Every structure is written in C-alpha cells, then in structure tokens.
C-alpha cells in the first residue's frame, strides 16, 4: 500500500516507522526539514518538505497514486483540511487525528460529512486503554480479541510469586489453569517462550486467557482482582477529563489535582461529581493530605515525563496501589522498565496502534486477512484471523502442522468456546485464531506455516 503521513511529530514518526516495517510504501510530509532528514536517513521512507494541506505538496508526494492519507499534525483544523483536499485530489481513504474536546461530540458528523475512513482522538483512546487496565488492576496492560471474549494481559512477576522457577510445561498440571504464556520479557529481551522456559522474578509475561480463566489464574497465584473504588490523578489535562468521564458512571470516586486555577474551574463545571483540587501534584504533603496512602489507584498525567515518573515512584513508596504513568517523550525505555512503575503508557503508541489496525484491515481487502492487530512489544505482535471455509489445514491435529519457529498459535475461539490449544486440537472453518509472532509481514494464515 502507498501511504502518505502528514506530520512528523511523535505520532507521525512512530506511524511512519511501523508502516514502513510492515511493508508499506510510506511518504511523510512536514514543514521541518531536519526532522524529515533524520527519519528518512534511518528508514526507507520518502520525505517531502511543505504544508500537508497544500494541493501542490500533496501532488508532489504522490496523492494521486496513494491508497491512504493519515493527517496527524498538531492542528486539528489542518488535519481535517488535509484530508478534505486529499479526497478531492486523489480519492484515497483518509484518517485524521482530532484532539480538541469541543470537536469530540461532532466526531461522527465530521467523519460522515468529510468522508473520512477514521477519526481518532488521541487522549480519548488513551483514557479508554487506562480504563481497561483499571478493570483488571493485576495486569500492566490488557488487549482484547475475539469480540472482547479473549484477553492478552501483561503481568510483571513479583518476588516470592508461586510462578518463580516454574517451567511453562508444568503450569497446567501444577496450577490447573487454562491459560497460555505467549510472550516473555527479561532484561529488555522479548521472546516467545517454549515449554522449558523457567519464569523468574521481574519477568514481564503476556498471558492469553478468556475473561473467566484470567480471573481464576490470578486468584491461584495469589492476586485477587479487587475492584478499584477510587482513583487520584495528578494533572487535569484531556486524558484526565476523558478518564474521569469513563470512571464516574462506574461508581469510582475520582480526585484530580491540577496546578492551573482556570483549568480547575473548567473541570469543576465539566465534572461536577469529581473532586477537583487546585495544587501542585509534586507536593508530598498535599498528596498525603488528599488521601494518597488510601487510594486504590493513582495516575500521573502531567505534561512532564520527569514529574510523572517521580510522583509515581513516590506513590509506589506509599504502599500497594495500581499505578498509571504517562510518558510522552522519554526514549530510554530500558531505564523506565527497570523502575518497575506498574503500567506505563505512551499516548503516541496508542494512537499509532489504532491507526495501524485500520491499515491492516484495509490490507485485508487487498490480500491480507488480519482481523485485529496488537503490538505486545517492539518486536512481538498478536494477530487475529478467521479460518476460511475449505482451508487445507483444518481438521488436522496441531502437532502435525508445521508452524514457523517464530510463530505461536495462542488461542482458538469457536462460537462461544475459548480453547487454549494443545497438540491434539484441530482448527475448524469459522474459528477465530490468535497468533503471536516475532516476525513482521504476517498478513494471512498461510504465512504462519513453514
């Protein structure tokens, strides 16, 4: 596919790299020449310097041959105008990032009137991801498949856990749990583990399970999925606003600490059921006075990565609670991982993932049959496929199928039944399967076989 990306900011760069690695022909348009050169020198990406809303610039970038244009500049209006021009100039599919809350209520109208394939609100998408994690606080991250019937949960193994020194091929017999470990991260290295993999303290493991089996598994390893009753947030930006709107109707008490008095006044009007505190979230005394020790969950959502990290470290020191830390810019992932901050999320990655899923869905109609894509780590993807009628590999025991070494068949969803596959299981027409792989370029079920 030929894809044009307008905007070479954090999201634009992340998108361009992922789409390029996925085998797409990517061109990036931005007015900052240095950013463009740095990106194009590292990857097989074409850069065009100029205003993405200009017809001439889009034409120079190849809009007439493009399959998709994605506008992710810092201006909502520029993104929408770029998409409108692209529809007229090239008649391609268009995606716009629209972030302002005042546009949020009209997103469907904007999408319909401008003929957009997708409109994404970055802050709302981030809030929705945080809310999923808060519903399952034992996990670092939760991704859903098979119409939300199957989950992949990331979990950091603590000291003295019953999982420490346990081999994967012993889990089913010793824990009697119907789950599968599909990925494991240790010392910054991610792999698809085999049966002889021995779990160690601080490993980050990805667990595939149905909703019910995930609950049962965490109970058996000593983690109860206690419901979050209240949350404290530091930073009253758009993510905090959207997250509060999701949590308040669920009966979760919300307290937001925000430095700006005018923003506090606005939040009081927008969120009358939330408690809004005007103060500095880095003030330890203020945090304690407002109940930091007692809260079930805490989210550091300021615009400064360093503040978010320090506040979260302090909250970790105060006791056992669910921690959420927002990071925008810091690229030292390995250092952040060592800090053990529970759930760390990058809004740029969330936005990029949503758009990449749509691109994969487009490619499905052009030869790829990926239903859903989630990037578990930088080099590990979980993909969802539907087994088509008459496929040659159906009704054959999995142990007799020659899967690639870089591929794991993690789950089978058959009607209402969730199956963690074993050697004697078979695939049937209509099954939804989840495949975990360390190799890019898996576009159809046939790609998983050697």
| Token reading at 212 | 């019910």
Instruction: Report pLDDT digits (tens) over 9-23.
Output: 888 998 898 888 878
DSSP string, 209-229: EEHHHHHHHHHHTT---PPP-
Q: What are phi and psi of 39, to 5 degrees?
A: -70, -45
**Would 2-120 and 136-220 be classified into the same CATH topology?**
no
Instruction: Report pLDDT digits (tens) over 156-178.
Output: 888 888 899 999 888 888 888 88
CATH-assigned architecture of domain 365-448: 2-Layer Sandwich (3.30)
Q: Where are the domains of the chain?
A: 2-120, 136-220, 230-345, 365-448
The pLDDT, as a whole number, for residue 367 is 45
Long-range Cβ contacts of 34-43 (<8 Å, 24+ apart) = 35/8, 36/8, 39/8, 39/13, 43/16, 43/17
Helix (H) or strand (E) holding 145: strand 141-145
- As assigned by CATH, the class of the 230-345 domain is alpha beta
Q: What are phi and psi of 119, to 5 degrees?
A: -125, 130
Query: Three-class SS of residue 3?
Result: strand
| Token reading at 38 | 């740095």
Helices 347-364 and 10-21: angle between axes, nearest 10 degrees: 40
pLDDT in tens, the chain (450 residues): 899 999 998 889 988 988 888 788 999 999 988 888 888 888 899 999 999 999 999 999 999 999 899 999 999 999 999 999 998 887 888 999 998 888 887 888 888 888 888 898 889 989 998 998 888 887 888 887 767 778 888 888 888 888 999 998 888 888 888 888 988 888 878 888 888 899 998 888 988 888 788 888 888 887 766 788 999 999 999 999 999 999 999 999 999 999 999 999 999 999 999 999 999 999 999 999 999 999 999 999 999 999 999 999 999 888 888 999 999 876 666 777 778 788 888 888 888 888 887 887 676 555 445 666 666 666 787 888 888 887 888 888 888 888 887 888 888 888 878 888 888 888 888 888 888 888 766 767 777 887
pTM higher than the cut 0.95: no
Domain 2-120 maps to which CATH number in 3.40.718.10, 3.40.50.720, 3.10.270.10, 3.40.50.300?
3.40.50.720
Q: Does domain 136-220 have CATH number 3.90.1260.10?
A: no
């Amino acid at each position: 596919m030929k894809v044009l990306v307008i905007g070479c900011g954090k999201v634009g760069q992340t998108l361009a790299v992922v789409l390029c690695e996925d085998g797409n022909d990517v061109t990036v348009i931005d007015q900052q020449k240095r950013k463009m050169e740095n990106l194009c020198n590292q990857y097989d990406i074409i850069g065009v310097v100029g205003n993405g809303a200009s017809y001439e610039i889009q034409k120079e970038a190849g809009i007439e041959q493009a399959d998709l244009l994605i506008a992710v500049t810092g201006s909502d209006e520029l993104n929408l105008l770029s998409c409108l021009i692209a529809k007229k100039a090239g008649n391609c599919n268009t995606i716009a990032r629209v972030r302002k809350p005042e546009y949020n209520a009209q997103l469907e109208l904007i999408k319909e009137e401008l003929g957009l394939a997708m409109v994404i609100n970055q802050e709302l998408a981030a809030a929705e991801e945080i809310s999923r994690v808060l519903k399952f606080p034992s996990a670092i991250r939760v991704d859903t498949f098979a119409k939300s019937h199957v989950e992949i949960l990331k979990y950091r193994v603590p000291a003295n856990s019953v999982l420490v020194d346990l081999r994967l091929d012993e889990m089913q017999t010793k824990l009697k749990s119907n789950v599968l470990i599909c990925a494991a991260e240790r010392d910054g290295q991610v792999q698809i583990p085999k049966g002889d993999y021995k779990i160690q303290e601080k490993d980050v493991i990805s667990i595939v399970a149905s909703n019910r089996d995930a609950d049962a598994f965490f109970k058996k390893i000593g983690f109860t999925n206690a419901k979050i009753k209240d949350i404290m947030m530091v930073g009253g930006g758009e993510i905090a606003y959207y997250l509060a709107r999701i949590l308040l109707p669920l009966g979760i008490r919300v307290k937001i600490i925000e430095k700006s008095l005018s923003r506090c006044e606005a939040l009081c009007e927008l969120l009358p059921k939330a408690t809004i505190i005007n103060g500095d979230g880095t003030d330890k005394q203020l945090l304690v006075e407002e109940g930091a020790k007692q809260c079930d969950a805490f989210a550091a959502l300021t615009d400064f990565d360093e503040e978010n990290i320090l506040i979260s470290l302090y909250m970790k020191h105060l006791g056992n609670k669910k921690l959420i830390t927002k990071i925008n810019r810091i690229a030292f992932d390995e250092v952040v991982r060592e800090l053990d901050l529970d759930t760390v999320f990058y809004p740029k990655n969330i936005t990029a993932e949503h758009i990449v899923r749509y691109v994969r869905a487009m490619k499905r109609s052009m030869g790829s049959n990926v239903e859903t894509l989630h990037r578990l780590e930088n080099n590990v993807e979980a993909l969802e496929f539907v087994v088509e009628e008459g496929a040659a590999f159906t009704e054959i025991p999995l142990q007799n199928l020659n899967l690639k070494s870089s591929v794991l068949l993690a789950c089978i969803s058959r009607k209402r039944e969730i199956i963690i596959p074993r050697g004697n299981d078979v695939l049937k027409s209509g099954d939804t399967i989840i495949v975990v792989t360390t190799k890019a370029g898996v576009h159809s079920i046939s790609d998983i076989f050697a």
